[in-house]
Amino acid sequence: MTLEKFDLIYKDNRCKIKDKEKILSKLKAILGEENVSTKEIDLIAYSKDSTLITLIWRIQGKLAALPDFITWPENNDQIVQTLKLANEEKIPVIPYGEGSGVVGGAIPVYGGIIIDMKKFNKVLEINDKDLTVTVQTGINGMNLERYLNAKGYTCGHIPQSIYMSSVGGWIAHRAAGQFSTKYGKIEDIVLGLEVILPQGEIIELKTIIRAATGPQFDKLFIGGEGTLGIVTKATLKIWPSPEKRELISFAFPTIEDSLEAIRNILRNQIYPAVIRIYDASETVRHFPQVKEAKDKVMAVFVCEGNERLVNLEGIITREKCEDNNGVNCGEEPVEHWFETRFRVTETSLIPPYKIVIDTIEVSVMWEHAAELYHLVLDSVKKVKGILYITAHASHFYPNGVGFYFSFAGVATGGKSNFEFYQECWDVIMDGCVKAGGSIAHHHGIGINRARWMEKEWGKALRSLIDIKNLLDPNNILNPGKTYFPPEKGGAK
C-alpha cells in the first residue's frame, strides 16, 4: 500500500466502516461503476483543498486527511441515494467542487464519501429579460464567466479564485468577488436554489426577486459550507457587459486617510465596482514601480457601467480622495493590478523554505475599522517567529469594511509549523473579536475558524447547531467543521 507511506494530519475520530466492500458495491449500484473509486490515486487527489498550511504538508509528503470513497454523481437521484446510504451506515459525506477553499471546508477530516460535483457543469438557461442565468453548481467559475462574456453578459462575481472555484463553492462558503462593491456578494447574486438536504430530500427555493414569505430559508445554504445540504442548481443575477470602465488610483499618507476617503465615497452613494486599499507594506510589494506611492497606502478603483454614470462616479471618487490627502497616481497602477491580480507565485515559492504563510479576512463596521487594523497588526507582530503581517482591504460598504491580513513566519522554540500557524490564526481572531469585528468576511469557517464560532455567535450558536441537528440528525454532512473544530467532533 502506497498510502501507508504518507503521514495523516487529521487521523483521529475517523469513521469506522465495517464492510468497505459492501459499501463500495452499493455505491457502484447507485452511481455506476465508472462514478465510484477507492483507488489510491483518487483518494490522494481528494485528500486536500487549497488551505495554505496544506502546501507545506504536501511538499513534506503528508496528507491532510483521507477519504474512503470518491463519487462523481451525474444526477440528483444518485446524490439522494448516496445520502440515504450514508445515513443508514453513518458515514460522513463531503461535497467537493473545485477544491479552492482556504479554510479546510472540503478536507475529509473523518474520512467518508467525497461527492465531487464536477459533472453538474451545465449552463441550463440564460434569461435576458430577467437578467438571470441558471446553472448546475459544479460548473467552474471562469468557464461560466467566459460563457457569459461570449454572450454579452457578466455575472459580476470575480473572486481571485475564479479560475479554480465552482458556483457551488461560492454559495457554500458565502463568497465575495473583486467587483463586489457594485455587483454585490454571492448572497446578493443568488435568486433561486435547488438543494438536496442531508437525508436526501430535494427542495427547490424558487427564483424570486424578493419575498416576504416568512424566514428566508435560502440564506441557510448560502454559507452552509456543505453542512446543511448540497446545492445542485442555482439561478444567479447577470448584467450586460459594461459600456465603460474607468481606472483610478490614489496614494494616501495613512490607512486612516484612505479609509476616510472611501467611507465618504460610499456615503455619497457612489459604488465603484472595485475598491482596494493596500497598507504601506503591501504597497511596496504590489506597486514598487509607483514612485508617488512610496511608503504610502495605495488605493485602486474601477468604475464601470453606463458611460454617463461612470463619468460622474469618477469625478466624485477623485474629489473624495483629494479631500482626504490622496495623491492621484493615474491609471497605470490599476492596469498593473488587472495584469497581476491572478498571477500568484508565492504559494509555490515560499513553502519549500518551510515558511508558513496564510491570509485571513475579517470585517468590521467603520467605527472600529482603523482600531481593528492596528490591533491585529500589533498583536501578530508579537508572535515569536513572525516575519511579516500586512493588510489590504478589498470589500467596502457604506457601513463598514472587510480587511484581508497576510502573514508569514517560521515555527521556533520547538513548535510545529501547524502550531505556529494556529497561533497566528488565534491572535488575529482574538484581535478581531476584541475590536468588535466579525471573524470571517468571505472565506468561511471550515476547520480554521471553527474554534472561534462560539466567540463570534455567543448563545446564538446553540440555535444554529439545533438547525444543523434537525436537518442532519446523523451528522453525516461535512462533519468536523463550521460548528465545532475537528477534535471536538467525530463519527456518531
Question: Which residues sit at the interface with another protein, rule CB under 8 A?
Answer: 1-2, 5-6, 39-42, 44-46, 50, 55, 58-59, 61, 70, 72, 96, 98-100, 116, 118-119, 121, 140-143, 146-147, 150, 161, 163-164, 284-285, 288, 342-345, 347-349, 351-355, 384-388, 408-413
Extract the C-alpha cell encoding 154. 457578466
Cell of 211: 419575498
Measured from the CB atom, is 124 or 467 closer to another protein?
124
Question: From CA 345, how far away is CA 167, in angstroms rounded?
Answer: 24
Nearer to another protein, 92 or 97 (CB): 97
Closest separation between CB of residue 287 and another protein, Å? 11
The CB-of-97 to another protein minimum distance in angstroms stands at 11
Identify the H or E element spanning 315. helix 307-323
Question: DSSP class of residue 477?
Answer: B
CB of 165 to another protein, least distance (A): 9
Query: Which cell goes with 10?
Result: 487529521
Minimum distance from CB of 66 to another protein (Å)? 14
Q: Which is nearer to another protein, 350 or 464 (CB)?
A: 350
Looking up cell 473579536, which residue turns up? 433
According to DSSP, the β-strands at 113-116 and 93-96 are parallel
Give the CA-trace dihedral at 93, 94, 95, 96, to 10 degrees: -140
Q: Smaller CB distance to another protein: residue 181 or 390?
A: 390
Shortest separation between residue 212's beta carbon and another protein, angstroms: 39
Torsion-angle region of 485 (φ positive above 0: left; ψ -120 to 50: alpha; else: beta) = beta
262/280 with CB nearer another protein: 280
Beta strand spans in 148-287 (E): 153-154, 190-196, 202-205, 230-237, 239-240, 244-252, 274-278
DSSP symbols for 22-57: HHHHHHHHHH-GGGEE--HHHHHHTS--S-THHHHH
| Closer to another protein by Cβ: residue 2 or 269 | 2
CB of 332 to another protein, least distance (A): 16
Residue 295 CB, nearest distance to another protein (Å)?
12
Q: How many residues does the chain have?
A: 492
Phi, psi of 384 (to 5 degrees): -65, 130
Q: Which is nearer to another protein, 147 or 457 (CB)?
A: 147
Which single residue is written with the C-alpha cell 475590536? 435
Of 61 and 458, which CB lies nearer to another protein in the complex structure? 61
Bridge-based pairing state of the strands 356-365 and 297-305: unpaired
List all residues 6 or more positions away from 440 whose beta carbon is below 8 Å from its beta carbon: 103, 361, 362, 363, 449
Q: How far is the CB of 313 from another protein (least distance, A)?
A: 30
Q: Least distance from C-beta 34 to another protein, angstroms?
A: 9
How is residue 157 written as a grid cell?
462575481
CB of 336 to another protein, least distance (A): 12
Nearer to another protein, 309 or 355 (CB): 355
Which residues sit opposite 365 in a β-bridge? 400
Closest separation in Å from C-beta 469 to another protein = 31
Residue closer to another protein by CB (options 198, 446) is: 446
Q: What residues contact 349, with CB distance under 8 A and at least 6 apart? A: none
Among the listed residues 42, 88, 99, the one whose alpha carbon sits nearest the alpha carbon of residue 67: 42
Contact yes or no for 171/232 (Cβ under 8 A):
no
The nearer residue to another protein, 24 or 464, going by C-beta atoms, is 24
- Cα 479 to Cα 108: distance, rounded to the nearest angstrom: 8
Q: Is residue 321 within 8 Å of 272, Cβ to Cβ?
A: no
